[in-house]
Chains A and B, each alone.
Chain A
């Protein structure tokens, strides 16, 4: 791991206080991220990966969500507990930016895309109105929107899905954030477009030196983009390792199960090994290790106690009693 840690997340807990109970969406998540590094956050729906991303921005869903514990340090500065106006002025869109899955909801249909890319530049006082517009055109050019100057005067509905996602990316990098959070940015795109977008996001990262937190459920996309990968299950990181290490020799039974259960190109005819059971009800998590009811190696200890994360050979971290 590189020495210069840009982002340090320690024991982050974000809970949703619902009428039916407390949903521990993020329940003790820790990881580091260096500049220019890409960390993949993979997991199923409800595993807490999106909520982790939102928590870094200080945006757990209102009014039920709250960061109850933990620390998020960006360049050594603690973000948890910062007042809302400081977050708005100095953090969101400036130091940390986000690209979400659906470009249509990230863009306002009544403003031109140029104005929308210029908006964060103006809001953070990086340029005045007319200069900001010029910078917006440069950004659209950077994300390879063809004839950016003309198209900056168009509205979102005049763009295709892939182009819209490029516009969202231009908005996100407009203020040169230190950290870019991409939440399933390619899941709504077709494969031929997905490849183009993955190339783009990698180039943008290299050009701006940003760190990238890439949230996805797609093991293929994560493999081709991420340096390190954190596997989430029921609000916790169960395994965090270098991508090559994780895919070659997954340590946690859940990571093993996931990798064995996806069909792979060129491996036809083999029966897939399915993970038994169903994802847990987030309001009523199993005792001990949340994965134990589905785990082939579960012991009495797994039922009783949640395993701590420990360092394992290969430099990764695993939260499993098999390795403790």
Chain B
């Protein structure tokens, strides 16, 4: 396994009127080339902020991000621009991610032109990437409003791929789409990955989706990773009480399946005042004294890591 992307103790803090908001607070993970690495968690857990760090939309407040051996934070000028061409993104809302005043041709050509591609090549590349995502060549001459949500998401994927990136950050790529076209887009993303050897960082709240496509999974809670490991391990044998609760809460599309259950009470705390010790302790059914006092450290078994006092060797 070659490491493509690694984060070491990455942090993103925002100063607000209410104090320092630690949206991402010490995240360490590695993404291997060619895999789909999924980040799951509920709203406010910091998974999307983590994506903005990798996309250099927000500055790191601490720690380090390394991409293909280079320190991302230190990239300037031409090197920074080259990084831009290697890491691309697809966001959730295909209505917000395409400029309504530009034709598809302009939207797709923009990244190429920004990287100095000769104009002659652009038309051919636009046509190729459109066929790659399953759109007809004449789509180039239309405006975004002439497409349905699913087609727009295809255009957004085409834009992300036109620079032939290594890593694509997929931030909830199907959750804003109609149910009947989610599978189309999901299958397309999987086909493209195989065909082009892409690495995906998938950010999602839908655990069934994650189980379906991911190779490895990290579960985030209040700015920190609480469990990370191989997908099969995490889904079959969740270690952290939060992961267990998340999995237990997913309603199954089968009326005969055991009813999803609420194993945790309360709601996610404010990242402005994260709880002491283990951040999950106020909601955890197994919380002990130690959980209130000290943050748990990571316990590793094979390729599966979780941070919980229950797992600590006695």
Which residues of A come within 8 Å of B, CB atoms?
Answer: 44-46, 160-163, 190-196, 198-199, 217-224, 226, 243-244, 247-248, 254, 257-276, 278-279, 294
Contact = CB atoms under 8 A, between A and B. Distances in A.
B252 A224 contact: yes
Given A191-B207, A219-B253, A269-B212, 7 more contacts: A191-B246, A217-B179, A263-B206, A263-B209, A263-B213, A268-B231, A276-B184
A253 B264 CA distance: 38
A223 B182 contact: no
A193 B181 contact: no
Contact of A243 (B207, B213, B231, B255): B255
A239 to B, nearest CB: 14
The CB with the most chain B CB atoms within 10 A, among A45, A196, A268, A271, is that of: A268
Contacts of B187: 271-272, 274
A262 B264 contact: no
A244 B207 CA distance: 23
A220 B181 contact: no
Interface residues of B, number: 48
By DSSP majority rule, is chain B's interface helix, strand, loop, or mixed? helix
Contact of B179 (A44, A191, A199): A44
Contact of A191 (B180, B205, B265): B205
A67 B82 CA distance: 58
B148 interface: yes
A224 B259 contact: yes
A12 to B, nearest CB: 23
Contact of A278 (B151, B246, B259, B264): B151
Given A44-B178, A279-B180, A262 B253 contact: yes
A274 B43 contact: no
B257 interface: yes
Nearest 8 interchain pairs by C-beta: A220-B251, A261-B183, A190-B42, A274-B183, A263-B212, A219-B253, A272-B183, A195-B262
B249 A275 contact: no
A259 B211 CA distance: 17
A260 B254 CA distance: 12
Contacts of A161: 267
A45 B148 CA distance: 12
Contact of B262 (A199, A217, A244, A271): A199
B250 A191 contact: yes
A223 B252 contact: yes
Given A261-B183, A274-B184, A275-B180, A224 B267 contact: no
A258 B261 contact: no
A263 B186 contact: yes
Contacts of A274: 181, 183-184, 186-187
A224 B148 contact: no
B259 to A, nearest CB: 6
A198 to B, nearest CB: 7
Nearest to B181: A278
Contact of A195 (B183, B208, B249, B253): B249
A221 B251 contact: yes
Given A191-B250, A198-B260, A271-B187, A266 B181 contact: no
Given A193-B267, A268-B211, A272-B187, A44 B257 contact: no
A43 to B, nearest CB: 8
Contacts of A278: 148, 150-151, 181
A160 B182 contact: no
